[in-house]
């Protein structure tokens, strides 16, 4: 398995690297969260899930530990991170809190991802 890095070690590394905002992680500015191209626009749950997974991994946390602190099952958190489940606002707030990230920060990053990746084939239409 991978190496477990404690949060205080991560914070020291960020401080040494000159990162001012403890909630902005290395992957936060990576434009690969929303692939550009001619495909359909990604769904909100997919973009938010990618962000949650990136924050969790950047902090060196296991899925089971984060899920336990958020009060949800690891299986459900995995499905949320993969964009398979559309979590409620309460669940998003619980996971963001478990990761120590303000919900507004998480939503803002997801919004920025969608704004950068816009230009797909248009909205997804659902049949009744």
Q: Where are the domains of the chain?
A: 45-118
pTM of the model: 0.64
φ, ψ dihedrals at 30, nearest 5°: -75, 120
Greater confidence (49 vs 122) lies with 49
Instruction: Kindly report, residue by residue over 77-111, the tens digit of the pLDDT.
Output: 999 999 999 999 999 999 999 999 999 999 999 99
Instruction: Kindly report, residue by residue over 34-63, the tens digit of the pLDDT.
Output: 555 556 788 999 999 999 999 999 999 999
Band (pLDDT 50/70/90 cuts) for residue 116 is confident
Q: Which CATH superfamily is domain 45-118 in?
A: lambda repressor-like DNA-binding domains (1.10.260.40)
Which bin fits 122, alpha (ψ -120 to 50), beta or left (φ > 0)? left
């Amino acid at each position: 398995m991978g190496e477990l890095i404690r949060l205080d070690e991560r914070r020291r590394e960020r401080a040494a690297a000159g990162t001012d905002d403890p909630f902005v992680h290395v992957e936060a500015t990576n434009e690969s969260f929303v692939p550009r191209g001619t495909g359909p626009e990604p769904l909100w749950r997919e973009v938010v899930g990618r962000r949650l997974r990136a924050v969790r991994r950047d902090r060196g946390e296991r899925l089971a530990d984060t899920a336990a602190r958020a009060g949800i099952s690891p299986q459900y958190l995995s499905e949320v991170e993969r964009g398979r489940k559309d979590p409620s606002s309460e669940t998003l707030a619980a996971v963001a809190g478990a990761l120590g990230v303000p919900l507004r920060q998480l939503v803002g990053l997801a919004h920025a991802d969608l704004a950068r990746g816009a230009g797909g084939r248009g909205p997804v239409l659902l049949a009744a």
